């Protein structure tokens, strides 16, 4: 039986690369925006102006993904910004995956611009599979017009870590025998699944590198970080036992947030925004066949002070109205009157099983609401999300305020793709 070989293939600066490829296809003599200081960014007018992707020259100026465009322009005054086109990204992603399926027996889309390929047993077709990774990288570049990094290893974890080494347009290996030289000297923050708070805690115990974690006492790490510690200790040792699968794990929670077009001081307006967020969140929960039992809201004011509060529901639910009622109660107890810049609704403790605490006074009401929600979901899936709206979102005085009846998370354009 052949030893397992996994590729992790990551498109370099995907959104910007796909925009660059389109421009060169349409106008071959135009400049390649990947060679200038450029970025893909959201709408600054709607206060969604953050960097979604950046070119290498922009990166050298200090521009980072996720920062406000205003900050990026201060670092890089000559930065050229292009608006996102999510229909293009979905099209390019599908082309990318289709090409991989021509060569790999099994392909797992990890995100819109990343995929794992199980190449086990294909050496009789392609020869040395590390050498073939270079061939595949060049095939993607010549046929699709953008570059990728490919990590090659015996499992998904190490393949993904390898693809994050030097970029762009590179192939890297990270096999178990290469861990001491290539993997263990890296700072602990570079390990997959280690965030800032975990890294800070590990550093407080003198663990500075991935190798330091790998060589630490397993029981001590588990005592410190519980099941998360067990996971990352195994990751540091290159051990990842999950098999290549097309099925994503169930979310632990669902939520959305929205940066408002202007600072809000009207409680009724703020609650209408909460309703639109609950509408989208509830639809996602039902689509996943899930139920939640904790609701949290987030308020960010115009001074960027963030406040959060949560409540545990007496019964698990996927009903939009029950989530909204909880969100409003939380809002009333949390808001101090400061102008609101951002509102968010988050739910947690998701499961596939529901439990209900019945009330003598509301007998049957929740069941009717649940059926109504499912009927509305069905209509929206068939005829579009605008086919059914709550009355408060179609009154003339409210439409002037431009609140989408389903806000937050993916934009309408992205949800409809």
Angle at 300 between CA 295 and CA 306, to 5 degrees: 80
Beta bridge partners of 254: 347
DSSP annotation of 83 reads -
Pull the structure tokens for residue 223. Answer: 């005592």
Over the stretch 81-98, which tens digit does the pLDDT of each residue have?
Answer: 998 888 899 899 999 999
How far apart (Å, rounded) are the C-alpha atoms in residues 280 and 259? 15
Verify whether residue 114 is a known catalytic residue: yes
Whole-Å CA distances, 241 to 30, 264, 325: 47, 49, 42
CA–chain centroid gap for 409, Å, is 10
How far apart (Å, rounded) are the C-alpha atoms in residues 154 and 120? 9
How far apart (Å, rounded) are the C-alpha atoms in residues 297 and 309? 6
Domain ranges of the chain: 15-86, 184-236, 254-415
Is 402 in a helix, a strand, or coil? coil
Q: What does residue 338 show for φ and ψ, rounded to 5 degrees?
A: -65, 145
A 10 A CB-CB count for 69 gives: 20
Over the stretch 359-392, which tens digit does the pLDDT of each residue have?
Answer: 555 556 778 888 889 898 888 888 887 788 888 8
What is the fold, at CATH topology level, of the domain defined by 254-415?
Answer: Dna Ligase; domain 1 (3.30.1490)
For the chain, the first-to-last Cα distance in angstroms comes to 41
Whole-Å CA distances, 209 to 177, 183, 227, 326: 18, 9, 20, 44
DSSP annotation of 388 reads S
Angle at 393 between CA 390 and CA 397, to 5 degrees: 140
**What's the number of CA atoms in the CB half-sphere (13 Å) around residue 170?**
11
Annotated catalytic residue within 26, 67, 108, 114: 114
Asked if residues 171 and 130 have their Cβ atoms less than 8 Å apart, the reply is yes
Asked if residues 10 and 109 have their Cβ atoms less than 8 Å apart, the reply is no
Beta bridge partners of 51: 41
Asked if residues 110 and 246 have their Cβ atoms less than 8 Å apart, the reply is no
Is 311 in a helix, a strand, or coil? strand
How far apart (Å, rounded) are the C-alpha atoms in residues 377 and 381? 6
DSSP annotation of 251 reads P
pTM: 0.66
CATH code of domain 184-236:
1.10.150.20
pLDDT of residue 413: 45
How far apart (Å, rounded) are the C-alpha atoms in residues 16 and 12? 9
3-state helix, strand, coil in the chain (%, to 5): 45, 20, 35
A 10 A CB-CB count for 384 gives: 11
Domain range 15-86, its CATH number among 3.20.20.80, 3.30.420.40, 3.30.360.10, 3.40.1170.60: 3.40.1170.60
List the pLDDT tens digit at each of the 417 positions of the chain.
678 999 999 999 999 999 999 999 999 998 999 999 999 987 666 555 788 899 999 999 999 988 888 889 999 999 999 988 888 998 999 999 999 999 999 999 888 899 999 999 999 999 999 999 999 999 999 999 999 999 999 999 999 999 999 999 999 999 999 999 999 999 999 998 898 889 999 999 999 999 999 999 999 999 999 988 999 999 999 998 554 444 445 566 788 888 887 889 999 999 999 999 999 999 989 988 899 999 999 998 888 788 889 999 988 999 999 999 999 999 999 999 999 988 999 998 888 776 655 555 555 677 888 888 989 888 888 888 778 888 888 765 444 456 778 876 544 544 444
pLDDT of residue 315: 87
pLDDT of residue 392: 82
């Amino acid at each position: 039986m052949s030893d397992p070989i996994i590729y992790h293939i990551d498109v370099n600066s995907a959104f910007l690369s796909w925009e660059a490829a389109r421009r060169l296809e349409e106008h071959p003599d135009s400049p390649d925006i990947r060679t200038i200081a450029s970025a893909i960014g959201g709408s600054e007018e709607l206060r969604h102006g953050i960097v979604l992707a950046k070119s290498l020259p922009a990166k050298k100026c200090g521009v980072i993904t996720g920062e406000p465009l205003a900050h990026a322009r201060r670092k890089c005054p000559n930065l050229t910004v292009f608006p996102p086109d999510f229909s293009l990204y979905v099209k390019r992603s599908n082309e990318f995956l289709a090409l991989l399926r021509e060569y790999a027996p099994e392909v797992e889309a990890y995100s819109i611009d990343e995929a794992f390929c199980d190449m086990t047993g294909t050496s009789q077709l392609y020869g040395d599979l590390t050498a073939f990774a270079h061939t595949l990288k060049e095939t993607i570049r010549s046929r699709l017009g953008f570059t990728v990094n490919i990590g090659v290893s015996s499992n998904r974890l190490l393949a993904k870590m390898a693809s994050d080494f030097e970029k762009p347009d590179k192939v890297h290996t990270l096999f178990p025998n290469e861990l001491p030289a290539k993997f263990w000297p890296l700072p602990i923050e570079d390990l997959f699944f280690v965030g800032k708070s975990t890294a800070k805690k590990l550093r407080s115990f003198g663990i500075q590198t991935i190798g330091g974690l790998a060589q630490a006492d397993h029981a001590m790490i588990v005592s410190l970080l519980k099941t998360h510690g067990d996971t990352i200790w195994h990751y540091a040792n290159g051990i990842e036992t999950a098999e290549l699968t097309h099925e994503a794990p169930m979310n632990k929670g669902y939520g959305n947030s929205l940066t408002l077009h202007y600072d809000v001081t009207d409680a009724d307006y703020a609650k209408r925004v909460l309703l639109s967020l609950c509408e989208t969140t509830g639809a996602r929960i039902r689509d996943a066949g899930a139920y939640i039992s904790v609701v949290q809201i987030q308020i960010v004011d115009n001074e960027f002070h963030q406040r959060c509060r949560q409540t545990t529901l007496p019964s698990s639910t996927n009903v939009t109205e029950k989530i909204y009622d909880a969100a409003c109660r939380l809002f009333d107890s949390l808001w101090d009157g400061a102008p609101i810049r951002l509102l968010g609704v988050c739910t947690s403790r998701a499961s596939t099983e529901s439990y209900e605490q019945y009330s003598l006074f509301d007998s049957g009401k929740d069941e009717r609401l649940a059926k109504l929600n499912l009927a509305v979901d069905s209509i929206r899936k068939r005829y579009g999300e605008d086919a059914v709206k709550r009355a408060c979102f179609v009154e003339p005085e409210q439409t002037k305020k431009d609140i989408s009846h389903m806000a937050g998370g993916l934009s309408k354009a992205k949800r409809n793709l």
